[in-house]
Structure formats: structure tokens, C-alpha cells
Amino acid sequence: AHELDAADPLAQYRDRFDLPEGVIYLDGNSLGALPKATPARLEQIVRGEWGDGLIRSWNSAGWIDLPQRVGAKIAPLIGAQGHEVIACDSTSVNLFKLIAAALAMRPGRKVILSEPCNFPTDLYMIAGLEAQGLATRRLAERDKLAEALDESVALLLLTHVHYKTGALHDMAALTEAAHRSGALVLWDLSHTGGAMPADLNACGADFAVGCGYKYLNGGPGAPAYAFVAERHHAVLEQPLTGWMGHAAPFAFTDDYAPAPGVARLLCGTPPILGLAALEVGVDLVAEIGVERLYAKSQALSTFLLECLEEAGTIAPLPLRERGWGEGALKLVSPANPAQRGSQLSFRHPEAYAICQALIARGVIGDFRAPDVLRLGFAPVYLRFEDMARAAQYLAEILATGAWDRPEFR
């Protein structure tokens, strides 16, 4: 581990984050760590731009353009043009806007196709439109999605990296299959953006959304982002026609006229503090490069699996079934690193208690019901030494039954 850390070209960037002493943070796929530059940037906005500039800062400090500016910086990370991405609202709200927009673009079609166990908010947003009689939800298993596409499907809605298992969808192949059936495609990049390369335009994607608080390190509740392919800009209609999405918001007319391009996805007043914090994280990811981040993520996760295998904590790879009675973890992420995102997930009937026992030792991962232990790899601030120690603690917890304590239940 020390040799790998010494040769790591990204090691220098660890010092750009404010990390608690003695903590191995394997939950950056839920909330990214704090960049050291973020507090100073927020201080500048609060005391200088807000405190001194007051309302003038909407113009003098460029607040009014922050959604477009941050969106344009995210765009190269996901294979989009700068004018195709805007940072605004939450992932859930952006999903609703784009699902509704897709339905309007495919009159006569009402089916939204997705998969069981997609991230809940993706499915809930479909349900909200279904309750209004505007949509019909259809779910198909991963290997049956292409077969489920027909002339009734308006939109294929999928998460590129599965939030629980980390399994990757073939974005290009599924987008092409959807287009052959006449459907549009909306990709949720919440576990992709900032963690691994994506090329929306090369794949022909129509829409995408993603969050800013995971691998982009924008802070808790950071604004999300939305992508609309340029070819759809002129016809896009979204249902949340707030004043900031108006073509002339300060004309204060009674009738709505949509702004040109992706700016029509705006709704209410932009959250300036959240966008500024997100911009710091995006700038840092862009400086490092998502290709380098993903390469290190794959190396970290492979090394952790090797450590766990050596300790007898999981079955030898390639993985074979092993009974829970033997105390082993079952890998539910793809064993091939090229087929998974920046995480590893393991199934165990005591996953919650194991997760709590790890946290008590300073290894912060997370639990996903009913029985999944999920470990995320934000490689910019993780070391191979962290992987070795996390494997050591996990092996110890399983070997000794240390999870079986009242405080971990």
C-alpha cells in the first residue's frame, strides 16, 4: 500500500480537502468531503459580495449568471457542450421537469420505462406524473430493457451507475435502442458525474440530470444540474414555468415566454451560496480530470478486494457463491472494475451492524436496506493505505463477531 501511495500521481490533491484525523472516508458517494477552498469562497460571498455589494452583486459579482457558468464547467465532465448544461434546483425537481418535457415531445405515448430498484426518487417522480394521468410506469429487469421498448414508450429513464450495486448500464447501446423505438432517453448521472467519464453527446443522449453533493463535492444539499441536447432546445417545454426561466425575467410581464436554450429549465431564484460552493468542487474535479480519478478508483477498489480476499473475508475472485453461515461477505457489485462505478457493495444479513462497527473504528461507509454494505471511492482523497486498513478492520469485525453488540444494532 505504501509503495502504491508513493507512486500515486493524485496523492498531492489529498491536501486540498479538510479531512478529520483518523477517519477513512468511504462515503463520498453520498456526501463529498469539504474542499479547503470552499470556506474562504463562502466567506468572500457572505462578507464581501452580500455584505458590501448587497443587491448590486447580482450584476457586479455575476450572481445572475452562476447557473449557466457552473453548468458550463460541469459540461466537459459529462461529454456535453457548455450551453447544454445548467446548474439548478435538485435532482428530483430536474427529473420531474425533464420527464414532463419528454412526455410533451412524444404525444400519444405515455409509458416511462425504467428498472426495478432504480433510485427511489426517479421512480417516485414517474409516480407523481402517473397520479395526474399523464404517464404510465413500466419496469423491466436490466437484461430485458431493450425488449420492453415499443411504440408506447415515450421515455427511457435509467441511472447510469446503480446507486446500490454500482453496476454500469451501457449508455450508448440503450440510448440507441430507445431511439430505434422512437423513445427519448434521460440518464441520471448522480453516481457518475465527477467520478468517471461519460460522453452524453457521443452516445446521443437526449437528457441527463445529476447531483452536486457527491463526487463534485458541492456540500450538503448542493444544487443539481440538468443536460438537454442542443437539438431539443427549441421545442423543450418544462412545466415549472418560474420567473427565472422567462425570456425576460425583469420585464415582469403577465404572460410566460420561455428563455432560449437550456436556461428555460430555470425556475426560482438561484441559490447563490450553494452554487458558489459547488463551483469550487467542480473546478477541483476539472483540474484533476475524471479519467485520472476513475483510473485510481478502479485501482483502489481492486486493491481492497485483493486485501479482503487474502483475509478470507470474501470468496476468491472471480466470485463464487459462499454461504452466509461461514461469515463471508457476498460481492454484489460487478467483479470486473470496467463494469462498475466508483463503489463496491457487499451483501450480508448483518450489514447494518457491520457498517456501524466500521464507523466506530473510523471507517465511514454506509448501509442500504435491507442488507447491503456500500463503500464508495472518492479517489482524490483516499489512499491505498486506507484500503488496507479498512480491509483489516472489516476482516477483524467479521472474524470476531464484533458487530454483535447492542450499540451497533
Alpha-carbon span 21 to 337, nearest angstrom: 30
Among 188, 206, 366, 386, the one annotated catalytic: 188
- Other Cβ atoms closer than 10 A to 348: 19
Among 96, 213, 294, 393, the one annotated catalytic: 213
Alpha-carbon span 12 to 290, nearest angstrom: 16
Among 110, 138, 340, 374, the one annotated catalytic: 374
- Indicate if 188 belongs to the active site: yes
Alpha-carbon span 222 to 31, nearest angstrom: 10
- Indicate if 96 belongs to the active site: no
- Indicate if 368 belongs to the active site: no
- Indicate if 296 belongs to the active site: no
- Indicate if 119 belongs to the active site: yes
Residue with cell 452536486: 212
Among 119, 163, 227, 384, the one annotated catalytic: 119
Among 73, 110, 214, 264, the one annotated catalytic: 214
Of 76, 87, 95, 94, the closest CA to residue 276 belongs to 87
- Other Cβ atoms closer than 10 A to 373: 24
Of 392, 350, 386, the closest CA to residue 367 belongs to 350
Rg of the Cα atoms in the chain: 22
> In angstroms, what CA-CA distances link 216 with 191, 209, 286, 290?
10, 13, 10, 11
Q: Which residues are catalytic?
A: 119, 188, 213-214, 374
